[in-house]
């Protein structure tokens, strides 16, 4: 409701322009086509994605989510007028962060009534996955295409952009060449693969208008400090804390200038 209040203030305050929201979205994939695994997938999508996308874009919560939460006595408190304010204040565009997919199976230790996400679904370790072992995340560019089609088909083809996408790698200095440049070809490959899938989505009609990477320069993480590096620029951790361009930065400059690769 704080988000809704901000959108409401923007739309009623005489401001020019448009207003959106940035969300972390990880498309969900089930272990199998079994009914139990598919229920787990639906629950994961409802709880992690549609619970945000539907009210922010469509102006209401998914009926299936309301039914699921009601069944398990998990409905939040609401106030009179909340639904009307949500309906009146959808966003104009979306920013979506994507790093990894969500893979689930039927819950292995369910409780009834459910209390936690693990009571609705359990993680599934897909044997064929490709991993970024430094970050512990699966690399699955195809999900970016699936996300693009989902926005087109389920959310009025609202304008959207990729707000974050990237690859964190530890000990990048071992990839430094004689000239002092980090040759991060792995990051270039990561972006190429994701941009190909995003282009597929745009070709299919999805209204995506941009792609941002995380991040411009190696930055500090609240979770692991400077262990994993993401940037186009290397950040030296010793004085004078110099920034130096990586190979991926040059590549992305060319991609931007040529609108492709």
Mean pLDDT of the chain: 96
For 204-232, what is the mean pLDDT?
95
**What pLDDT is recorded for position 59?**
98
For 3-14, what is the mean pLDDT?
97
Report the predicted TM-score, pTM, of the whole model to 2 decimal places. 0.94
Give the sheet arrangement for strand 122-123, strand by strand.
Answer: 28-30, 102-105, 122-123
**What pLDDT is recorded for position 112?**
82
Query: pLDDT-derived band of residue 27, with 50, 70 and 90 as boundaries?
Result: very high
For 24-35, what is the mean pLDDT?
97
**What pLDDT is recorded for position 110?**
85
State the Cα–Cα distance between residues 48 and 45, nearest whole angstrom: 5
**What pLDDT is recorded for position 135?**
86
Query: pLDDT-derived band of residue 223, with 50, 70 and 90 as boundaries?
Result: confident
**What pLDDT is recorded for position 164?**
97
């Amino acid at each position: 409701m704080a988000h809704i209040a901000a959108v409401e203030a923007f739309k009623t305050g005489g401001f020019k322009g448009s207003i959106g929201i940035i969300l972390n979205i990880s498309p969900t994939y089930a272990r199998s086509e079994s009914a139990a695994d598919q229920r787990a997938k639906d629950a994961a999508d409802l709880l992690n994605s549609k619970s945000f996308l539907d009210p922010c874009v469509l102006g209401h919560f998914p009926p299936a989510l309301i039914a699921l939460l009601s069944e398990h006595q998990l409905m939040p408190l609401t106030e009179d007028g909340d639904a009307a304010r949500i309906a009146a204040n959808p966003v104009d565009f979306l920013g979506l962060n994507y790093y990894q997919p969500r893979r689930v199976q039927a819950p292995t230790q369910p409780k009834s009534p459910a209390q936690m996400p693990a009571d609705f679904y359990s993680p599934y370790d897909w044997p064929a996955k490709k991993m970024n072992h430094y970050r512990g995340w699966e690399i699955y560019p195809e999900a970016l295409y699936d996300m693009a089609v989902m926005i087109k088909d389920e959310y009025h083809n609202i304008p959207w952009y990729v707000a974050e996408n990237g690859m964190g790698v530890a000990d990048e200095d071992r990839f430094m060449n004689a000239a002092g440049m980090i040759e991060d070809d792995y990051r270039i490959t990561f972006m190429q693969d994701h941009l190909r899938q995003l282009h597929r989505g745009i070709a299919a009609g999805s209204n995506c208008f941009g792609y941002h990477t995380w991040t411009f320069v190696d930055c500090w993480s609240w979770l692991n400090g400077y262990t994993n590096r993401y940037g186009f620029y290397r950040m030296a951790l010793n004085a004078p804390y110099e920034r130096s361009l990586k190979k991926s930065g040059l590549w992305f400059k060319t991609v931007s200038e040529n609108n492709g690769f």
